[in-house]
């Protein structure tokens, strides 16, 4: 088989899909094609539909996964699901399996059991490793194995793969038991760009003047004054701020609050939630980044139009998987099934966590 029909749960605005459909192996017919996708957010579904599969309205389902009848979905050869990370993120309450979103991975497992795709890709935040003292991650891996898959979980540091952003995510690639192939983690040497500084990502080439989702955020006079005292790479807590501009915060001090980018380094993590002071701030101009600039840090094309109001777009971009990072992993999967060698590295998550009843990655 050279073409793999991909189904997606929790599809988001299409970062994973962008990487999947862009993945290619030179001089072969191996590729991944969209079959169906589903998400609970309407703006997100519209973004996905308009950019990934325009005109194929019925293939993108706007529905809460808990109310979705899997039997209504068509046959697939591959599955992707970036199950919600809210309860595993280090910036959240870290409720893990005890939260509202923690157990939603089980719908991905249910899809694996129903469709038995040849392979799958699942994504979540690095904090998944430690949720519920590591027991949540162990349970998730065991459930995926029980569905009939050999797993290769790895903590991908996407900045090492050329993404202009420090973004660490756990990606689990599963290959159906009985397939005579072994997936290996692609080497960072396969990166799509050499200079992954945020300045180059945002300025080279310049963003077109008519680009969508590029409206500026109105900054208050106080924010402008505060930013004028914060140097590139500094935040509101380590900058030399006048007393009247210091933040009245007790307890933990989040380093990203009013943090300005260092133009010579990858950006810090683009997020989809948070209030004032968390919007990512330009290294030189006294302002937050536009959504289009944020999208560039996530390696979306400039002609990728996000649906919805500005805050909805901000959330969609922050929750996405970087397109170029996803593409590298999907190309490794295609190479694996094509029997083509590619540079790889050892899978690594955290050797201090019990990874399930097998006690190892089951590779």
Q: Which residues form the catalytic set?
A: 85
Please list, in sequence order, all residues whose beta carbon lies within 8 angstroms of the beta carbon of residue 111, skipping any fewer than 6 positions away: 7, 9, 70, 79, 81
Q: Are strands 185-186 and 344-345 parallel, antiparallel or unpaired?
A: antiparallel
Measure Cα distances from 345 to 24, 191, 361 in Å: 20, 13, 14
Please list, in sequence order, all residues whose beta carbon lies within 8 angstroms of the beta carbon of residue 294, skipping any fewer than 6 positions away: 270, 280, 314, 317, 318
Query: Residue 316: enclosing H or E segment and its boundaries?
Result: helix 310-319
Tell me the backbone φ, ψ of residue 35, rounded to 5 degrees. Answer: -115, -55
**Measuring CA to CA, which residue among 33, 78, 87 is closest to residue 56?**
33
Tokens at 36, concatenated: 């169906």
Tokens at 358, concatenated: 């097998």
**Measuring CA to CA, which residue among 280, 336, 325, 3 is closest to residue 154?**
325
Calpha distance 193→340 (Å, rounded): 22
SS3 of the chain: helix, strand, coil, percent, to 5:
35, 15, 50
Tell me the backbone φ, ψ of residue 17, rounded to 5 degrees. Answer: -65, -40
Tokens at 7, concatenated: 């189904």
Measure Cα distances from 171 to 85, 127, 258, 292 in Å: 12, 12, 30, 26
Tokens at 114, concatenated: 């129903």
């Amino acid at each position: 088989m050279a073409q793999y029909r991909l189904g997606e749960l929790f599809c988001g605005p299409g970062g994973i899909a962008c990487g999947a459909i862009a993945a290619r192996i030179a001089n072969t017919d191996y590729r991944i094609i969209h079959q169906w996708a589903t998400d609970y957010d309407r703006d997100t579904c519209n973004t996905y539909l308009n950019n990934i599969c325009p005109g194929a309205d019925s293939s993108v389902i706007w529905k809460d996964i808990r109310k979705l009848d899997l039997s209504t979905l068509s046959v697939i050869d591959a599955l992707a699901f970036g199950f919600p990370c809210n309860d595993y993120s280090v910036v959240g309450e870290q409720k893990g399996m005890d939260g509202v979103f923690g157990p939603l991975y089980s719908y991905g497992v249910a899809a694996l059991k129903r469709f038995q795709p040849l392979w799958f890709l699942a994504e979540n935040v690095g904090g998944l490793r430690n949720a519920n003292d590591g027991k949540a991650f162990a349970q998730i891996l065991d459930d995926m194995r029980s569905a009939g898959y050999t797993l290769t979980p790895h903590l991908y540091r996407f900045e090492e793969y050329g993404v202009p952003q420090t973004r660490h995510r756990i990606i689990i690639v599963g290959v159906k038991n009985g397939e005579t192939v072994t997936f290996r983690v692609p080497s960072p040497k396969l990166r799509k760009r050499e200079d992954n500084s945020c300045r180059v990502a945002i300025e080279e080439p310049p963003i077109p003047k008519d680009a969508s989702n590029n409206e500026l955020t109105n900054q208050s006079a106080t924010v402008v004054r505060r930013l004028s005292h914060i140097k590139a790479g500094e935040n509101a807590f380590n900058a030399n701020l006048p007393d009247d501009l210091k933040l009245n915060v007790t307890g933990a001090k989040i380093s990203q609050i009013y943090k300005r980018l260092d133009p010579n380094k990858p950006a810090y993590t683009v997020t989809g939630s948070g209030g004032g002071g968390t919007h990512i701030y330009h290294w030189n101009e006294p302002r937050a980044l536009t959504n289009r600039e944020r999208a560039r840090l996530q390696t979306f094309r400039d002609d990728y139009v996000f649906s919805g109001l500005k805050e909805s777009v901000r959330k969609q971009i922050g929750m996405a998987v970087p397109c170029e990072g996803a593409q590298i992993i999907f190309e490794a999967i295609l190479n694996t099934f094509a029997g083509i060698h590619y540079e790889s590295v050892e899978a690594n998550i955290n050797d201090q966590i019990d990874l399930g009843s097998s006690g190892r990655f089951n590779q």
